Structure 1
Amino acid sequence: MWTDLGYLGLFLASFLAATVIPFSSEFVLSGMLAAGGDPVLSLITATTGNWLGGLTSYYIGWLGKYEWIEKYLRIPKSKLEKWHDKVSGREWWIALFCWLPGIGDILAVMLGLLKSNFWLSATGMLVGKALRYVVWSLLTLEVISNI
């Protein structure tokens, strides 16, 4: 279904996969490559969609307020501030792992919630997501060439 929409479908699938919606965009990327999609354009499309989805999760976290976390999750503001201090300076490395299934979305929201440096978080997220899709694309193209 997603590949029927071409690059738009790949973009949407990649975007959704980077939000809290459980979804695997890697298979859509493989489908695009198997259908003869341009590898570079497919890689750029998937990476852009997934990165923008991750930034959306970051922004959702950014909208959160410490007072809400304190009230509803009973985590004291002082503890959140300590987490912020621990994350500060490590945003790039933490964001690099936002591609991981299951915890990547949580990392993106956490980076936003802790008001982490946007540019460090965004670039780390972009690099991590791009590397994941590069590896996946190379594996897919290798399988396709051996069929």
Structure 2
Amino acid sequence: MLEGYLGLFLVAFLAATLLPAYSEVVFAGLLAAGYEPLALWAWATAGNTLGSAVNWALGRYLLHYQDRRWFPFRPATLAPAQRWFQRYGVWSLLLAWAPVGGDALTFIAGLMRVRFDLFLLLTAIGKGARYAILLGLIEGVGRLL
């Protein structure tokens, strides 16, 4: 049983990084297999939040090398993203769960030197809400069938 929770944690972790993974499928499968819903929510939220923390750390760390030729972002590409983040602020981290742009948002938060405790709190709230909604949808559809 623990293997299922750890597997979900790992897939959720990977899904939050730049690697392609779909934790929703694993989440739904384990829920259908009879795993405890609240435990699935907690493991998925923790894994996805910690995966985002890796993006934050990469953004924070890589900024030291922005003057190097191999740095993956040019100032012209980085500037609009930084302006967007400055405009909407740390509250935009509540949207870090979004399938499009969410991973980049957590990376940019690292580049922008958002305090890690604030980053972790806002990201966890957003990702926890995402999995809570997913859980509600799956259970709601299950009751209809």
TM-score of the superposed pair, with normalisation by structure 2: 0.84
Report the counterpart of residue 118 of structure 1 in structure 2: 116
TM-superposed CA distance for 1:114, in Å, is: 1.4
Letter in 2 for 1:90: G
What is the aligned residue count? Answer: 141
Note closer, same or farther for the CA distance 1:49–1:74 as it changes in structure 2 (3 Å cut): closer
**8 Å Cα contact 1:98-1:108 kept in structure 2:** yes
C-alpha separation between the residues in 2 aligned to 1:52 and 1:101? Answer: 16
Report the counterpart of residue 41 of structure 1 in structure 2: 39
Deviations 1:37-77 (A, max 9, x none): 1010000000000000011111111101265168544417x
> Mapping of 1:90-105 within 5 angstroms?
90-91=89-90, 93-105=91-103
**8 Å Cα contact 1:17-1:25 kept in structure 2:** yes
Report the counterpart of residue 29 of structure 2 in structure 1: 31
Report the counterpart of residue 75 of structure 1 in structure 2: 75
Note closer, same or farther for the CA distance 1:16–1:74 as it changes in structure 2 (3 Å cut): closer
TM-score of the superposed pair, with normalisation by structure 1: 0.83
TM-superposed CA distance for 1:4, in Å, is: 9.9
Question: Following TM superposition, where does structure 1 have runs of at least 4 consecutive aligned residues deviating by more than 3 angstroms?
Answer: 69-74
Gaps of 5+ in 2: none
Note closer, same or farther for the CA distance 1:142–1:116 as it changes in structure 2 (3 Å cut): same
Note closer, same or farther for the CA distance 1:132–1:69 as it changes in structure 2 (3 Å cut): farther
C-alpha separation between the residues in 1 aligned to 2:11 and 2:2? Answer: 12
**8 Å Cα contact 1:96-1:124 kept in structure 2:** yes
Identity, % of aligned pairs?
34
- Bigger CA drift: 93-102 or 48-57? 93-102
Report the counterpart of residue 53 of structure 1 in structure 2: 51
TM-superposed CA distance for 1:144, in Å, is: 1.9
Deviations 1:61-103 (A, max 9, x none): 1101265168544417xx85xx47x638921x12111111131
